[in-house]
Amino acid sequence: MNQPLSVRTVDIWKTFEAEPEPVHALQGISLEVAQGEFTAIAGPSGCGKTTLLNVLGGLTRATSGEVWVAGSDLEALSERRLARLRLEHIGFVFQAYNLLPVLTALENAEFTLLLKGVDRQERRQRVLALFAKLGLEDLEDRRPGRLSGGQQQRVAVVRAVVGAPAIVLADEPTANLDSHASDDLLRMMEELNHELGTTFIFATHDPRVMERSHRLIRLVDGQIESDDVRAPPAGAGSG
């Protein structure tokens, strides 16, 4: 694997205080994800998939261990720097779409660009190009409440990738979609992975996501049970 690394974790543990005893959601996860990978993390409910994604995204801190994302040690960053790292280098796609209800589809999609200070013309250009690619033309002015689940998830994908992040973390992105919409979404993310070289890491139960991923990591009880690499990362052959 010659690609630069998007993510590296070293022996990370995440423990939640609980009664009668603490819950060890992650138990010594060490992992390297290269730029351009299309990776699925699978496993039964409660195995630690979402917790791992949250740790990789800096939404929660590991109890111990090292987490490196886009060259930064997340555990060493202040909350403010962590927020800015998320803005610059990490895109999120959530199961529940999580678009901001008061913004239109276009405004939701360009939100991270606004925060980055990208000028209006460039924002619109980048968002509309992705809208066209993902079949969202003419939906720019609609609020999330007037979009279907599949459309909302596609807007969320545009929001996640439009800022050209080092990594996109997608937590059960197809869980609320029918099979047709799921296939469409996966195809689009594959295209973005291939064309933009964006790293995707999915937490999923969905067999279709597992089948189409280039690498499948199985978690059981907070530990990596298997790590199966099936294809090289996007762009690995070109350079």
Shortest distance in whole angstroms from residue 58 CB to another protein: 9
Considering the complex, state which of residue 162 and residue 234 has its C-beta at the smaller distance from another protein: 162
Report how far residue 235's alpha carbon sits from residue 238's, in angstroms, rounded to the nearest whole number. Answer: 5
Shortest distance in whole angstroms from residue 60 CB to another protein: 4
Which stretches of the chain bind another protein, using CB under 8 A? 50-51, 54, 57, 59-60, 79-81, 83-84, 86-88, 92, 94-96, 98, 100-103, 111-112, 114-117, 159
Report how far residue 179's alpha carbon sits from residue 61's, in angstroms, rounded to the nearest whole number. Answer: 34
Shortest distance in whole angstroms from residue 227 CB to another protein: 24
Shortest distance in whole angstroms from residue 54 CB to another protein: 4
Considering the complex, state which of residue 170 and residue 216 has its C-beta at the smaller distance from another protein: 170
Considering the complex, state which of residue 72 and residue 190 has its C-beta at the smaller distance from another protein: 72
CA-wise closest residue to 53 among 173, 142, 188: 173
Shortest distance in whole angstroms from residue 1 CB to another protein: 27
Shortest distance in whole angstroms from residue 85 CB to another protein: 8
Considering the complex, state which of residue 29 and residue 216 has its C-beta at the smaller distance from another protein: 29
Considering the complex, state which of residue 158 and residue 216 has its C-beta at the smaller distance from another protein: 158
Considering the complex, state which of residue 86 and residue 214 has its C-beta at the smaller distance from another protein: 86
Query: Tokens 């690995």 — which residue?
Result: 236
